[in-house]
Amino acid sequence: MSTKPRTENRFRGVIMPTGSHPVIRRVRRQGSHPAIHGNKLWKSSCLLMDYLNKNRPQHCNTVIDVGCGWGVSGIWCAKTLGSEVTSVDADANVFPYLEATAELNKVRTRHLVSRFEALSTKQLAKFDMLIAADICFWDELVNPVTNMVNRAVKAGVKHILIADPERPTFHEMAQRCAVKHCADIIDWQTHTPIKASGAIMVIENA
């Protein structure tokens, strides 16, 4: 007996569409094809949402979701924390998928096409919290991500959280931030309804 593919998951109150969801299929038919790994929802976003759900941030009025992809972490912040979210990605083709996901969750976020190194200290100073998931997956990303964190700390961003399934490149970046900014590197895992494991680099910049 055949079973239909699952079209969505629900995690900590957020609807997460799969690639077979009608709204995602419609976006794909319209010709949006992300090029920089923004072709699906990544599980490290679940680590972020679960951690923030259990450790509610004191400052979260304005949130920047960097390397957002389909943007589910930022969407969770908008839906659950009431945050004003700016979703940032270097690939403009991810935003139709993000918009579809946001519409399913009845929220909206602002969009910004930008690379990590282009986010200035002045721009980052507008935000209370910076979140990111799965953004340090290549060797050549270690320096740009580390430098972005340096600028965010200098800008006074109160909470900085980056989640990853524990790639060596993530740990290299996180260790640099631990030395310079006393970042914590926290092992984290979820079991239901989505199983995910990895680590979250957390900087409390009060």
CATH at 43: 3.40.50.150
Residue 152: what pLDDT? 98
Residue 2 inside a domain? The answer is no
Split into its structural domains, the chain has a count of 1
Residue 1 inside a domain? The answer is no
Residue 7: what pLDDT? 87
Q: What torsion, rounded to 10 degrees, do the Cα atoms 24, 72, 61, 109 define?
A: -20
Neighbours of 144 (CB within 10 A): 18
Between CA 188 and CA 96 the distance in angstroms is 30
**Is the distance from CB of 183 to CB of 171 less than 8 angstroms?**
no
Q: What range does the domain containing 17 cover?
A: 8-204
Neighbours of 175 (CB within 10 A): 14
Residue 113: what pLDDT? 97
**Is the distance from CB of 75 to CB of 109 less than 8 angstroms?**
yes
Q: 3-state DSSP call for residue 137?
A: coil
Type of residue found at 118: A
**Is the distance from CB of 155 to CB of 119 less than 8 angstroms?**
no
Residue 92 inside a domain? The answer is yes
Residue 36: what pLDDT? 54
Residue 3 inside a domain? The answer is no
Residue 48 inside a domain? The answer is yes
Residue 5: what pLDDT? 64
Residue 130: which residues within 8 A CB-CB, separation 6 or more?
A: 63, 64, 66, 124, 149, 152, 157, 159, 160, 161
DSSP H/E element including 103? helix 95-104
* Tens digit of each residue's pLDDT, the chain (206 residues): 445 567 888 999 999 998 888 888 888 888 667 765 444 577 899 999 999 999 999 999 999 999 999 999 999 999 999 999 999 999 999 999 999 999 999 999 999 999 999 999 999 999 999 999 999 999 999 999 999 999 999 999 999 999 999 999 999 999 999 999 999 999 999 998 899 999 999 999 97
Residue 37 inside a domain? The answer is yes
Residue 128 inside a domain? The answer is yes
